[in-house]
Amino acid sequence: MSALLRVAGLNAAYAATIDADRLEAWPDFFVDDCLYKITSAENHKRGYSAGIVYADSRAMLRDRVTALRTANIYERQSYRHIVSLPVLGATGADSIAAETPFLVARIMRDGRTDLFASGVYVDRIHDEPEGLRFQERIVVCDSSHFDTLLAIPL
Amino acid sequence: MPDALLPRRPSFPGWTGDLTRVPFWVYSDEALMKVEQDQVFQGPVWNFLCLESEIANPGDWRTTFVGQMPVVVARGDDGSIAAFENRCAHRGALICLDNAGSGAKDFQCVYHSWRYDLRGNLRSVAFQRGVKGKGGMPPGFRVEEHSPRQLRVTILNGLVFGTLSDNTPAIEDFIGPDVLARFERVLGGRKIEIIGRFVEVLPNNWKLYAENARDSYHASLLHLFFATFKLNRLSQGGGLVVSPNGGCSVSETIAPTELDDNSYAGMRSVDDGYRLEDLRLMDVVDEHPDRVRHQIVTVFPNFVLQKTQNAMALRFFTPKAVDRTNLEWIYFGYADDTPEMRKRRLRHLNLGGPAGFVSMEDGCVGGFVERGIATAGNESAIVEMGGDSIASQPTRATEASVRGFWSLWRQVTGL
């Protein structure tokens, strides 16, 4: 299978996992020593290092899921990710660079559906025998505005 | 002008009780927004404008808002900082159209090219003398008599504040010595560096967030994350300071000394079995000669300085509609941070912001109130925790600083 299709398949599985509320499986898309960050195009361009979510280990991703399940208070909501085809960058022996545009609709418990976020995933993907996993996934949202709160990961 | 065309002060349902009863119409009355713009944001208060370091060089500028008023902040050729309404004196168009810029010699309105200096003074009018002797402004027109409103600017620990009122006291007197000392604690003598900037769009009136930032009572009840990890239980050391004018405050939490704490028995937020897998979220390094782990400073009407563990942020919030507020988060570190400390701040920032473990609930709870009071304009909120005073208290189980906010709000609005 081509690298393009493999990365597209990874993205599709990632989105389906979040949208189907299988958040406990979400950290498994990352290597142990990963970086997951949600930022915005303007922050990214200015080289600002902080994100609204910043996790530099898979354990931190698991902690975030635990917090969402047991500690944080937010109204029931779900996402629908629409993920486009990736544009592949430099490919090494065991790594692939990719950038993939996305849209996320947020569906609230009262029935309202809004376009919650658009942006691009800027990824470094580790190519290992068991499959592809994210070494780094920087979620670069087009806007720096976030409505109400961000609970479920993008 | 006939009386009917003059703006008339709207009448409001009234505030009959004391500060322990806040009538709900204050969060939903459309006409009140205009009064607040005139009396609060353009009144005798200090509005946060930007960091001094954001406009470090002559010709650097930023745009922001004083309430709903668009404002330009710029550094002039002499190094001083000026702020003025982002509104051309001619037809009222915005003068600056971006968030920030640099290298400006002057500002020119795109509509008819009226030109302003870096202090917002009108310097020239295109075709003022007409074309080939025809048209142009009357000979009596003086550019120096026509400029957008200019703010008085002050700088506190590298933060730029502005006011439109001649009656605003010096910022040190406005916030009082105790609040001033907490600014000094975090910012004094330090060069700060912005490391992130995000906007959280809140589905509620701006005052619900102003109250929330002052409300130390809710912190460990709404935010389970704090309580579970003993970051902020009311039984931990700490307290609440309210400025003499009521409008500014400090809430502090001291590092825990006792591991077992039963003061939450029976409440939702008890879960002593909950532990983090990656403890680096909590690896605090004390940077000041005290054991304060969480400090929230508020300045009336709409500014917050926060240090939680090693995460630092400024917040300010401006009304966009009666039930919509833009909350701006500016994350920062010290310019001389080691790489390890900077990474630590990035991890600790997971506690704050729109996705923060202990702040995401603040994004939605104002909306819960806004929706709950949909038909309750004649009813009132109860703000009586800790009695009816607005004095500092050695506990955070109090709503004294919320009452303090309303004390100053009522004073400046006359309501």
Residue B368 is part of a domain; what is its CATH number?
3.90.380.10
DSSP A153: -
| Mean pLDDT across chain B | 92
User: Which residues of chain A neighbour B224 with C-beta distances below 8 Å?
Assistant: 70-73
pLDDT in tens, B375-399: 999 999 999 999 999 999 888 889 9
Q: Give me the total of CB pairs closer than 8 Å, taking one residue from chain A and one from chain B.
A: 121
B228–A148 C-beta distance less than 8 A: no
Q: What are phi and psi of B80, to 5 degrees?
A: -85, 160
- For residue B6, being part of any structural domain is answered with no
Mean pLDDT of B337-348: 98
**Domain identity same for B235 and B318:** yes
**Confidence band, pLDDT 50/70/90 cuts, at residue B268:** very low
Paired residues of A131 in beta bridges = A128
Residue B120 is part of a domain; what is its CATH number?
2.102.10.10
**Domain identity same for B111 and B238:** no
Q: Are A149 and B329 in contact (CB under 8 A)?
A: no
Q: What are phi and psi of B63, to 5 degrees?
A: -110, 145
Q: What does the alpha-carbon distance between residue B334 and residue B156 come to, in Å, rounded to a whole number?
A: 16
Closest CA to B195 of B75, B65, B291, B54: B54
**Domain identity same for B92 and B203:** no
- For residue B38, being part of any structural domain is answered with no
**Domain identity same for B81 and B209:** no
Domain boundary (B154, B188, B205) is at: B154
User: Which residues of chain A neighbour B343 with C-beta distances below 8 Å?
Assistant: 56
**Domain identity same for B200 and B150:** no
**Domain identity same for B107 and B208:** no
3-class secondary structure, A34:
strand
Domain boundary (B154, B184, B204) is at: B154
- Is the confidence metric ipTM above 0.95 for this complex? yes
DSSP A85: P
**Domain identity same for B248 and B308:** yes
pLDDT in tens, B112-158: 999 999 999 999 999 999 999 999 999 999 999 999 999 999 999 99
Whether residue B262 is predicted with pLDDT greater than 50 in this model: the reply is: no
pLDDT in tens, B14-57: 898 999 999 999 999 999 999 999 999 999 999 999 999 999 99
Closest CA of chain B from A6, distance in Å: 30
**Domain identity same for B208 and B334:** yes
- Write down all domains in chain A, each with its CATH number in brackets: 3-141 (3.10.450.50)
pLDDT in tens, A58-91: 999 999 999 999 899 999 999 999 999 999 998 8
Q: Are B67 and B45 in contact (CB under 8 A)?
A: no
C-alpha B362 chain-centroid distance: 15
- For residue B170, being part of any structural domain is answered with no
Mutate to test the interface with A, among B99, B272, B278 (most CBs of A within 10 A): B278
Whether residue B264 is predicted with pLDDT greater than 50 in this model: the reply is: no
**Domain identity same for B146 and B180:** no
Q: How many structural domains are present in chain B?
A: 2
Residue of chain A nearest B347, judged by CA positions: A54
Q: Is B189 exposed, middle or buried (0-12, 13-18, 19+ CB in 10 A)?
A: exposed
What is the pLDDT at residue B219? 81
Mean pLDDT of B182-199: 97
- For residue B303, being part of any structural domain is answered with yes
Paired residues of B61 in beta bridges = B74, B101
Look up tokens 């976030």; give the residue.
A146
**Domain identity same for B190 and B300:** yes
Closest CA to A48 of A56, A61, A38: A38
- For residue B385, being part of any structural domain is answered with yes
Domain boundary (B99, B120, B154) is at: B154
- For residue B63, being part of any structural domain is answered with yes
3-class secondary structure, B142:
coil
- For residue B12, being part of any structural domain is answered with no
- For residue B109, being part of any structural domain is answered with yes
A148–B278 C-beta distance less than 8 A: no
With a threshold of 0.90, does the pTM exceed it? yes
Closest CA of chain A from B39, distance in Å: 28
**Domain identity same for B192 and B338:** yes
A52–B274 C-beta distance less than 8 A: no
Please report, for residues A39, A134, B303, B314, the alpha-carbon distance to residue B214 in angstroms, rounded to integers and kept in the order given.
Answer: 28, 41, 11, 14
Give me the domain span that covers residue B356: 176-413
User: Which residues of chain A neighbour B331 with C-beta distances below 8 Å?
Assistant: 48, 50
Q: What does the alpha-carbon distance between residue B226 and residue B221 come to, in Å, rounded to a whole number?
A: 9
**Domain identity same for B90 and B193:** no
What is the pLDDT at residue B233? 58
Q: Is B368 exposed, middle or buried (0-12, 13-18, 19+ CB in 10 A)?
A: middle
